[in-house]
Amino acid sequence: MNHLLTLKDLDKEQILYLLDLAAKIKATPQDYADALKGKSVVMLFEKPSLRTRVSFDIGLNKLGGHAVYLDQQNGALGERETVKDFGANISCWADGIVARVFKQSTLEQLAVGGNVPVINALSDLYHPCQALADFQALQEKLGDPSKVKLAYVGDGNNVTHSLMLLAAQIGAEMVVVCPPGYNVDGKVVVDCQEINTRTGGKLTISSELSALKGVDAIYADTWVSMGDETPLDQIKAVFSPYQINSQLMQDTGAQFFMHCQPAHREYEVTSEVMDSEQSLILPQAENRMWAQNAVMLELLKWG
């Protein structure tokens, strides 16, 4: 494992190893207090963030390392110099790059230009750190994550893609329900189907809420992702039938509700569900830090 750009690149063994390492770091953080002593990471953000920025910064500090935050105040990435040159220069000082970018190709250029590990902190296509934290939360509640049946409901997006890939890689079952016209990327579906033939995982894609019957957890994300300027209200009519509310939780028999956050109360989920005992949103947010610490430890320890 040289970078974490997409979960397509990790197999079952690597993912389960990372989930176990994340659990170990969470259980005894003091054992890892010097694990990345003297290491520095540049965190590069083209888009806003709360959870990702704070959890990487505080997480690296807990491992003895140091994070430097860069936003777009000096202009858009790739304008003042090429992304490759940017990556090459950061590699002169830092031991790793964490980047939240508009385009997945930007991460690839950073990886080509530099010679340090690059970690995807969200792109147009994927959000792998989120999916790792989410499956850590599921493992804590349900045990063996490969036995989990997870459903995603809403806009087919970066978060959906990473959940689908992680489920496929570990041989778990995933149901994705999107309104017509808001489906997941066809190439990611093909990738997951190919992975599932090897791992025994199962992927169901539907626009019908009836597909949710019998799932363990229902996962929601915003109806409008960062970078899409459509006002939330404008797409309300299309997405409203897909809102996660108590009735849906009851009808499907789902034990848990999940959301990567930021959440829009009374849009994709009611406050009643979001604040209920079924909600895993805060364990998910906390696990961002532990899962990412496992990733950073694995990628940076030899550098």
Q: Which of 106, 120, 158, 284 binds ligand NVA (CB under 6 A)?
A: 158
Q: How far apart are the first and last CA of the chain?
A: 12
Q: Which of 243, 260, 284, 292 is catalytic?
A: 260
- Residue 106 near residue 118 (C-beta atoms within 8 A): no
Question: Which residue from 40, 89, 43 is spatially nearest to 69, judged by alpha carbons?
Answer: 43
- Tokens for 245? 């509310």
Give the whole-angstrom CA distance, residue 293 versus residue 301: 11
Cβ atoms < 10 Å from Cβ of 270: 19
Q: Does the active-site annotation cover 265?
A: no
Kindly tell me which of 33 and 50 has the beta carbon lying closer to ligand CP.
Answer: 50
Q: Which of 104, 225, 245, 278 binds ligand NVA (CB under 6 A)?
A: 225
Q: Which of 3, 51, 53, 100 is catalytic?
A: 100
Q: Does the active-site annotation cover 129?
A: no
Choose among ligand CP, ligand NVA, none what residue 157 binds, the Cβ cut-off being 5 to 8 Å by kind. ligand NVA
Any contact of residue 159 with ligand NVA (CB under 6 A)?
yes
Which residue is it, tokens 């320890």? 301
Kindly tell me which of 123 and 270 has the beta carbon lying closer to ligand CP.
Answer: 123
Q: How far is the CB of 203 from ligand NVA (least distance, A)?
A: 19
Q: How far is the CB of 198 from ligand CP (least distance, A)?
A: 29
Give the whole-angstrom CA distance, residue 295 versus residue 19: 9
Choose among ligand CP, ligand NVA, none what residue 221 binds, the Cβ cut-off being 5 to 8 Å by kind. ligand NVA
Any contact of residue 6 with ligand NVA (CB under 6 A)?
no
Q: Does the active-site annotation cover 259?
A: no
Choose among ligand NVA, ligand CP, none what residue 50 binds, the Cβ cut-off being 5 to 8 Å by kind. ligand CP
Q: Does the active-site annotation cover 92?
A: no
Q: Does the active-site annotation cover 100?
A: yes
Kindly tell me which of 90 and 260 has the beta carbon lying closer to ligand NVA.
Answer: 260
Active-site residues, by number, are 100, 127, 130, 221, 260, 288
Interface ranges with ligand NVA (CB under 6 A): 122, 157-159, 221-222, 225-226, 260
